[in-house]
Chain A
Amino acid sequence: MFEDSQLSKFFWFAMSIAYAFCFFALYTFATIPEYVLELNNTAQNNITMKLSNVRLVIVALALLLYPIILFGFFKYAKYFTVALTSWAVAIYIDDYFVLSEIIKYPESRLISLAQSLRPIMIVSLFCMSIELVFRPLTVD
């Protein structure tokens, strides 16, 4: 797969980091203990969980669609990657600068860890986007 593809090994490495983070986030939010939710049963936490659920559905769809687009419709992979990168940056800016007074994540170690690892995922998505956008078109 790596030899035949036009993409570098670094791209696959960045993609695996992004995938690992997304699966970790899905696992974290899917397995929040009930006592954590009961302890943080405030309006802010509830609204945050509601928003997180919507975002996680989009993440799950992106995880499913990305390999299909990358291997089936390679021409559009760069647009899809740029869209995902801009969405990741947009929700990061939203959480820390726009909605900081409104949303509050439940106090959990895994959620804090996922929050702190978000920049790594954004950087890996950036690397993937740069590779796909600035890679010259190759013709046999």
Chain B
Amino acid sequence: MKDKKTNNREFTSILWNAPDKHSNDKDYIFQSSTFRLVLGFINLYGIILTILFFIVKGNLVGGVNNNFLESGFLSVLNARAILLLLLLMSLNISAYFNYGFKYVCLIMLVYMINSAIDNAVLFSSFTHFTDRPYFAAFNASRPLFIIALFWVMIFHKGNKKSIKIV
């Protein structure tokens, strides 16, 4: 009872230092809520695009004529949907483990820009808004997706790198 003050001080110092020495929480890097929101948007966009492809494949969407489907665009969409899903999975895995996120993001960004260029060159005559409003809407919103990817890549908080002293 005599050393109550001293004991309290000791306990306080022990408790204060405990998280630094023994807790693993320090290893985690918490991303901002905006980052999580934008990452959610990227996932949602990718999933909706894939669902839309399956709806078109099943011939469930009005306003898609046979000429459009027979022109080879369906096979391109098929491959692109699968690749986008694979990249989206890699993005989420790298975000979860916080390893190589920026690189996966960069790869996805390059892939999206490349597919946008391909579509603009090869299928520019198939993307009129009046003919295919669903695809035209997605083509129009693609820059938003690219901006979101770019934003996520820049504002991601990565792990600290080891430095070699020469």
Q: Which residues of A contact B (CB under 8 A)?
A: 47, 50-51, 54, 79, 82-83, 86-87, 90-91, 93-94, 97-99, 101-103, 133, 136-140
Q: Which residue of A lies closest to B166 (CB)?
A: A138
Chain A residues, CB < 8 A from B63: none
B interface, size bucket:
20 to 34
Q: Total contacts A to B, CB within 8 angstroms? A: 65
> Known contacts A54-B117, A91-B114, A98-B80: does B164 contact A86 (CB below 8 Å)?
no
* Cross-interface CB contact of B122 among A47, A139, A140, cutoff 8 Å: A47
The CA-CA distance from A83 to B117 in the complex, in Å, is 15
The 0/1 profile, CB within 8 Å of A marked 1, for residues 98-139 of chain B is 000011001101110011011001100000000000000000
Among A54, A90, A91, A138, residue most surrounded by chain B Cβ atoms (within 10 Å): A90
The CA-CA distance from A9 to B122 in the complex, in Å, is 41
The CA-CA distance from A140 to B163 in the complex, in Å, is 10
The CA-CA distance from A140 to B165 in the complex, in Å, is 6
Q: Are B166 and A139 in contact, CB atoms less than 8 angstroms apart?
A: yes
Closest Cβ–Cβ distance, residue B133 to chain A (whole Å): 24
Chain B residues, CB < 8 A from A54: 117, 121
Chain B residues, CB < 8 A from A86: 106-107, 110-111
> Known contacts A47-B122, A99-B122, A133-B103: does B110 contact A90 (CB below 8 Å)?
yes
